[in-house]
Every structure is written in C-alpha cells, then in structure tokens.
C-alpha cells in the first residue's frame, strides 16, 4: 500500500504511521471475500427502486418473508452488483421462512449511508448520495406499496462502515426502525483520529472526500452522525440495539480480516456500552467475545445469533 502510506505520512506524520497504517488498511480492505452467496432456488428479487433524492433507480436485493423487514447495510467497499451480505454470507438462506423480509441496498461505496452535502465524486463517477433519505423514506414507502412490507417497526443492521448509520437511523427514525444492530461499527466518528482516518480511507477507496460528505470535522454533521453522541435519543426511543465487536484475536471462525482494526474499534464500542448503561439504557445486547477479527465470518455468525431476537422484537410470524 505505498500510495496510502505516503498519504498517511503527509497527513498524520511519521511518528504514528506504524500504528495507524494497519488499522486504515483494515478499514479499506475489510475482510477477504468468501463468495458465499445463498443457495439457488430462494425467492430473491432484484428490484430497481426509483429515488427522486438520488436521481436514479437504486438496485435492492429483496426476499419477502413477512410484514416487517431487516435492512442490511454493507461495508466501505460496497459493490455496485450485489450487497456484501449476499456476496459473503448466506443471509438469504439463514432468514428464509423466518417470518422476516430481507432488504439489501446495493452500492454506496464510502457513503456511510448518509445524505451528503456535495455530490460524491469517486471511481470516475459523480453521484448524488442521499442514502438516508432513500433508506428511511423512499424505499420504505416503495416496499409498502409494492411488496406489502410495513414502513414502520423494522430493523436495520450494518457492519463496519454500516454500523454507525444503523444506530443513527434508530436514533432519528424510531418509527421506521425499532431495532438497530452495529457489528464492528465505528461508533464514535466525530472524536479523536476518526474523522481524519475516515477521510483517508474514503480517498484511498475510490477518491471520495469526507468533506463532500459532512464538511470539515468541526461541522455539526459529524456530531449528528456519531452514535455515541446520540445515545440519549436511542435510550429515549427505547430502540432495541445489538452491538458486537471482537477483540482482534482470531477465533474458531478463522484469522482473516484485520485484527488491529477490531482491537482499536473495540475501545469505542465498550465505551459506547458504558455510556448507554449510564444513560439508563436497558434495551441493548452487547457482545464483546474474547476473539474475532474484522471479517465476514464473525459478522455472519452474529446475524445468525441475532435472528431469534429480531423475530421477537419485530413480531415475526413463522
């Protein structure tokens, strides 16, 4: 990664390069693709959902299964062909006949599933990123009209890049999402090195600029999209939350993915838990096992463990 190393040295200084480079590589690369996909024969549909906010049709992978749905958010290197949950896990198969529908938006590399201030310029394209508007307003309305999925009482679960926006949706859109799950998410985005690391990662991953997303780190948008700062709202809403992070040590599910990044992310996740409890939060599950790297195998395991809790919280009828 010589190009990224040069950027880090210029922006952060040589004294911290040895510590931060492995973490940023983990953010960028994430876990190796397992190319799992679910088995053939499942009732998976590939929808083209119109978005006035983004000025185009957005591809959405969908499996009907019930009145309420679980929206699954991807990582920083989200692809334009399939959602990473489909590429790297058998999520559709795990939730088949669960009483829950699955919704996987496709695309949104480096987007943090938020509404950007400016057009998103990267990978030789210029796009309008209004993901929060699409996922909390346009898509729920379309699914209600066309797929008999309720606009309210749903769940949203994200990994890595997608973890923070899942919690943010729970904070700001409690009617839409009564359940929010963050798996190895970056839950304190406005603090410390995180704004700078996010900017470096987005630049390396397609040339995107974090300033186009939320402006400089001093802009209120960074605080608005920081789950730790929105804990009071999550508690007041009574949002059911599920927060997971490994400790960076390879476990039974393998040693792929970044151990260093998971270790660094764990600190902010445990702090999030402590502040949530201190704020009077009582509707959370916190899983911090003594193993687990920044890898799809561990996130997939969590999604399977989460299933009974999701069914209960969303009132699934199997």
Catalytically active residues, by annotation: 160, 262, 294
Strands 284-287, 69-73: pairing is unpaired
- Euclidean distance between CA atoms 1 and 86, whole angstroms: 28
Cα 267 to chain centroid, rounded: 18
Helix 14-29 crosses helix 259-278 at what angle (to 10 degrees)? 90
Question: DSSP class of residue 152?
Answer: S
Exposed/middle/buried for residue 252 (C-beta within 10 Å: 0-12, 13-18, 19+): exposed
Instruction: Give the distance between the most distant pair of CA atoms in the chain.
Output: 56
CA dihedral defined by 136, 138, 141, 145, rounded to 10 degrees? -150
């Amino acid at each position: 990664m010589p190009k990224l190393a040069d950027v880090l040295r210029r922006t952060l200084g040589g004294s911290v390069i040895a510590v931060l480079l492995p973490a940023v590589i983990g953010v960028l690369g994430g876990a190796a693709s397992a190319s799992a996909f679910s088995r053939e024969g499942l009732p998976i549909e590939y929808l083209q959902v119109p978005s006035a906010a983004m000025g185009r049709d957005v591809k959405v992978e969908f499996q009907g299964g019930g009145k309420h749905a679980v929206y699954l958010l991807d990582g920083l290197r989200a692809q334009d062909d399939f959602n990473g949950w489909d590429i790297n896990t058998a999520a559709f198969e795990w939730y088949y006949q669960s009483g829950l529908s699955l919704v996987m938006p496709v695309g949104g590399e480096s987007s943090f599933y938020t509404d950007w201030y400016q057009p998103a310029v990267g990978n030789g394209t210029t796009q309008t990123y209004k993901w929060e508007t699409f996922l909390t307003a346009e898509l729920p309305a379309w699914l209600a009209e066309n797929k008999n999925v309720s606009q309210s009482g749903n769940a949203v679960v994200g990994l890595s890049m997608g973890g923070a926006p899942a919690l943010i949706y729970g904070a700001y859109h409690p009617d839409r999402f009564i359940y929010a799950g963050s798996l190895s998410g970056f839950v304190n985005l406005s603090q410390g090195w995180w704004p700078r690391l996010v900017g470096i990662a987005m630049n390396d991953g397609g040339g995107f600029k974090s300033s186009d997303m939320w402006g400089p780190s001093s802009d209120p948008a960074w605080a608005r999209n920081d789950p730790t700062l929105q804990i009071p709202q999550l508690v007041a809403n009574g949002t059911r939350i599920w927060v997971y992070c490994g400790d960076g040590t390879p476990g039974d599910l393998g040693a792929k993915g970044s151990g260093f990044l998971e270790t660094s992310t764990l600190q902010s996740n445990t702090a999030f838990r402590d502040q949530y409890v201190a704020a009077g939060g009582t509707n959370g599950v916190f899983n911090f096992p003594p193993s687990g790297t920044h890898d799809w195998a561990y996130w997939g395991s969590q999604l399977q463990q989460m299933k009974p809790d999701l069914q209960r919280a969303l009132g699934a009828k199997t």
